[in-house]
Every structure is written in structure tokens, then in C-alpha cells.
Structure 1
Amino acid sequence: MELRDIEIFLTLAEELHFGRTAERLHVSQARVSQAVARQERQLGVALFDRTSRRVVLTPVGRRLREDLQQVVELLQQSLDRARAAGPEGPGRPLRVGVFGQAGHELLPLVEAFRAQHPGQELEFAEVNGTDPFTPLRTGEQDAAVLWLPVAEPDLTVGPVLLTGGRVLAVAADHPLAARGSAGLEALAEEHVVDLGPDAPDYWVASMVPTHTPLGRRIPRGPAARTFHEILSLVASGRCVHPLGEIAARYTRPPGIVFLPMPDAPVLHWALVWPSQTDNPAVRALARTAGALGPLLL
């Protein structure tokens, strides 16, 4: 059982309502239902009795909740002890999530930060575009560089670090490839990748809109969960997909062409971190970024 599924189970066990659970965790109700169904299928036993009027834990579900709560409490205690050791202590680098090769674009920020805080290590981790916020909420990442808007009540949005345009990934033999660029209206005639239910709809739509400027629906599907899965689907001609132009700068996959999208709004990437975490190193990185200003892609 994955950590996210454990979180969904424990929240549903407390709320006993699929809608409130989805709202509290900032996921879709379908994601909650899928997680519970997967857990019950793996365990071979029902965890909840649910009707159109109510949701209650089964005896097995109650026992599992008690056991998992102990596990989560122990995990939280371990994380608290690690934080108490001090974010600037030996062996405790500041972990920042980024997309793909974005770390290369952030080298001026990294150099400035290390010059100001020579005892603080900084390392980058990969952000999964289908589930960008969970690593921040579990403590796996201290901060992340995410495209805006980010409107999560438990996350703080700091200074903008990067600003740049967008590209459309298409197969090399796709008719759009010969045009040299692609407008948003062209997406109504294509399919874009479905990124799944874990990321909020508003956040996904800010990169991959649901409708063109003229109001035409942009079809979604097939589904993918990783950047490489997206590229595979595009290369096979099954779909096209909008991306930040940084993807075209560092990625040259065979069989794919990246087309500029001149009418797409500019993307702004900001430093984001958990609001409840009082991490001096994150605040220091935010101050350095604010003084340096946005870097243009």
C-alpha cells in the first residue's frame, strides 16, 4: 500500500464521506474511490460498508485504521526528529523538486545560495507532473519549483524563479510538424495526454487547457503518469502534448518535434513549500531567489 493510499484510507476512515475526503486531500472523488477499491482488492476484504446514504468502517477496516495510525505516528516522529536535528546539520541537504532538467536553468540561484550559505547542501529531486504536491506534504521534498497557479491552502507560493513559453510536442511525421509552430486552436483537432486524477484539475489545465480560446473542447486521452510515458505516446502518434519550453531545450527524443506555441500564455515557475513547515533553509533559499529575480528561459 502506497503512502498516498494510506493517507486516503485514514482520511476517509475519519470523514466517512468520499466528497469531504477528496476535498480535504485536494484530489478528485474518483481518486478516493479508486484507492479504496485497490486496497480492498489487494487485501481481499471490504474495508468500508457504503450505501447511497452512509459510509462506515467494517471490523477489518477499524483494525487496519488503528494499525496504520500507529505506523503514521511513528513515521511522523521520525521526521520530526530529523527536522529537530537542524536543516543545516551534516547530512541534511535541502531537497528541492524540479521538472526534468530545470536544475540546469537554476544554476545561478544555486551558486548564489551556496555562496551565502556554504554549510547548506542543496539537491534536486524529480517532480512527477501527475502528482506534484504529495512529496511536499509527506516531507519527501522540502520545496519544489512548480508552474503557477498553485492554489493549495496548505502550501506557500514564494518568488517566481523561471519564466518562459510553451511548446507542443508532436510526432515528427505529424501534419503539424511541417508548420513550424502551433496555435492553441489546433488542439481541438487532436488528443492531449490525460494526466490522471492526482493533480488538481485547475493546475493541470493551466498547462494543458481543457478548451481553446474560441471555446472548443480539447480531447483528452490516452493516459500517462510520467514524462517519458508522455513522450512515448507522442512519438507513436497517439496524441500531442503542450510542455514548458524547457523540455525542448534539454530533450531531443527521436521521432518528436517541439513546436513553439506563440499564442499560449507565458509560464511562471515559483518556489513552493509546505506552509506548516518552519524550515530556515527554505526561507533562506526564497530570500536569495527574491533578490536574484526571475530567470528567463
Structure 2
Amino acid sequence: MLERHEIEAFLAVAEELHFRRATERLGLAQGRVSQIVGRLERRLGVALFARTSRKVTLTPAGQRLYDGLAPAHQEIQEAVAQALATGKGITGTLRVGFSSAWAGDMVLRTAEAFRRTHLGCLVEIQEIPLYDTFGPLRAGVVDLQLTEFPVEEPDLVAGSVIFSDTRAMMVPADHPFARQESVSVEDLARAPLIGVTGDSPPYWREYIWPSKTPQGKPIPRGPTFVYWLEVPPLVASGRGISVASLLAAHYHGRPGLTYVPFCDAPPIDYGLIWRRDGFTSRVQAFTDTLCRIHAGRP
């Protein structure tokens, strides 16, 4: 018979294939998961994981155990969550916004998990345009939003950072920068920068599409855009360069474009925001679900 802590430790390592990440995921002290798994293997008399200095993999016995345990553990978690949701009365409709394709994928996956455990609550999702970053949230069109930080609005609350991604420069494939392994923020002064227009706060636009480099050099302005899908063709046609999350390469890659990471720029952080007067039990439950299944990775 396996104890609950043994099941959770085994499943965490089997899914992460990394003892440190499994330990962080479970919120345990360093080395604790390794101890639990080691004792479990000794008690069962079989190796569940093959360990080298470079990687961790499941043994055939470990894979068989995972295939049997994982679905049952998920069913137990969902049954408990459904009981709690029923007791807390989490019903109605929750509207969740996202500002980028990768944030949208995260919201979609979270919504699927949320629906399984909160059967009485409908989740509606929609994209939030960058030209009006906080408008739909303020207007009550959405209740919760996964977006780029920073958010410094007195009527809005920003949760903790959910994940971060490398900041990159989007350039034409034939641009000199495209041949480099990385670029500097100072390089922004050497080409017109395509940035967003609209009602987004100046501090927010400045953080992502700055007007000057850290050394104070002015960054020339290029065309502006309203919707993000305008940016790749503008860049590919040589109208300028832009700044994006490196994840954009997976969602908006196309011939004529190259994404080059910055070597000296902070990452772009993403997190959840909500109205200060709008933190409901539905918002809390969705936030908890997203943090549980996605914390630290998109």
C-alpha cells in the first residue's frame, strides 16, 4: 500500500523527470522528494527511475506504476475539487482574457481543468487587444486577465508572476542582427522600432517598447500597430524591428522573420490581474487552478 506522500512524490518526479523541479512543485524541503522515492524503491524492491548526472528517466516498472497511478490520482483530485466547489457554491460564468497566443494556450488548458472540477461554472475566454490592455477588464467584459507585467493601476490588482520568457528582437531575416546569437538593448537605437498605439498606459508601453536605451540613446520610432498580427508582416517587409517574447517565434514564425534574444534585457513577466472590487470565489478558484498546473512555465 502506498502512502499519499509517496504517490505525490513519485508522480511529481515521473512528470517532471527532475528531482529539484519535483521538490519545488510540491513545496518540500530540498532533498525530501529524493528521500521519499528512494525509500519507496527500497520497500518495493524495484527501481522506478534510472538516474544519471544528466537526466532522470522512468524504468519499465516505473512507467507501469505511473500508467496505473496517474489516472486514478487525477480522478481523486477532481472528485475532491468537485466536492469543494459544490460546498463553496462556485457557479455562474467566469470570463477570462488573455493578451497573447501563448497566454491564450495557458488559459485554455486551465479552463479545461477548471471545468472538470467546477461543473457548475461556465468559462468564457477572449483575446484582449494590446492597444487597450486594461479596458475590457475595467468595463467588466472579463473578470480576470493573463497579461504582460508591469501593472501599476490603482483600481486593478496584479497577482504574482506566473511565468517569464526571454525578451527578443523581431527582425527581418536579412537584417544584420539576424546573423547574431544575441543583441543588446543598446542595439534598439540602430533601427526604427514598431510599437503599439492606443490607450495602454505609457509606463507599460515604455517597458516593452522603450523610447530610449539604458545609456540614454533615443530609439527611432517606426510604424505603430493596433493588433499584434500586424507586426510580423511589418517587420518582414523591412518597415522596422520590434520587441517580443521569444515564445512569439513558435506562434508567429514565418519566412522573412528572425527572433534574436536580448543578452542584457530583463525577461517579460506574465501574471493574472483582476479588478480590486472583483475578486470573487470564481476568480480565486481559477487563479488557484492556473497556478497549480502552470506555475513557472507556459
TM-score (ref. length: structure 2):
0.64
Matches within 5 A, 1:5-84: none
Name 2:226's counterpart in structure 1.
Answer: 225
Name 1:98's counterpart in structure 2.
Answer: 99
SS at match of 1:296: coil
- CA distance change for structure 1 residues 173 and 204 in 2, over 3 Å: closer, same or farther? same
Q: Which amino acid aligns with 2:176?
A: P
RMSD: 2.2
Shift of 1:106: 4.8
How many residues in Structure 1 have an aligned counterpart in Structure 2?
210
Matches within 5 A, 1:281-292: 281-292=282-293
- 2:136 and 2:156 map into 1 onto residues whose CA distance is 12
Shift of 1:134: 0.5
- CA distance change for structure 1 residues 265 and 278 in 2, over 3 Å: closer, same or farther? closer
- Can you list the C-alpha shifts for 1:258-290, whole angstroms capped at 9, x where unaligned? 111121101210101111224321121223344
Q: Which amino acid aligns with 1:102?
A: A
Pick from 79, 86, 91: which aligns with 1:88?
91
- CA distance change for structure 1 residues 87 and 136 in 2, over 3 Å: closer, same or farther? farther
- CA distance change for structure 1 residues 134 and 201 in 2, over 3 Å: closer, same or farther? same
- CA distance change for structure 1 residues 223 and 87 in 2, over 3 Å: closer, same or farther? farther
- 1:160 and 1:123 map into 2 onto residues whose CA distance is 23
Q: Which runs of 5+ in 2 are unaligned?
A: 1-88
Answering whether residue 261 of structure 2 is matched by residue 235 of structure 1, we say: no
Name 2:193's counterpart in structure 1.
Answer: 192
Shift of 1:122: 2.6
Name 2:84's counterpart in structure 1.
Answer: none
Q: Which amino acid aligns with 1:166?
A: R
- 1:277 and 1:289 map into 2 onto residues whose CA distance is 18
Answering whether residue 196 of structure 2 is matched by residue 205 of structure 1, we say: no
Q: Which runs of 5+ in 1 are unaligned?
A: 1-85
- CA distance change for structure 1 residues 107 and 135 in 2, over 3 Å: closer, same or farther? closer
Shift of 1:120: 2.3
Answering whether residue 235 of structure 2 is matched by residue 253 of structure 1, we say: no
Name 2:39's counterpart in structure 1.
Answer: none
CA contact (8 A) 1:167 1:259 kept: yes
Q: Which amino acid aligns with 1:135?
A: P
TM-score (ref. length: structure 1):
0.64
Q: Which amino acid aligns with 1:198?
A: D
Name 1:267's counterpart in structure 2.
Answer: 268
- 1:179 and 1:290 map into 2 onto residues whose CA distance is 36
Percent identity reads: 35
- CA distance change for structure 1 residues 249 and 207 in 2, over 3 Å: closer, same or farther? same
Structure showing greater radius of gyration is: 2
SS at match of 2:132: coil
SS at match of 1:130: helix
- CA distance change for structure 1 residues 124 and 161 in 2, over 3 Å: closer, same or farther? farther
CA contact (8 A) 1:94 1:281 kept: no
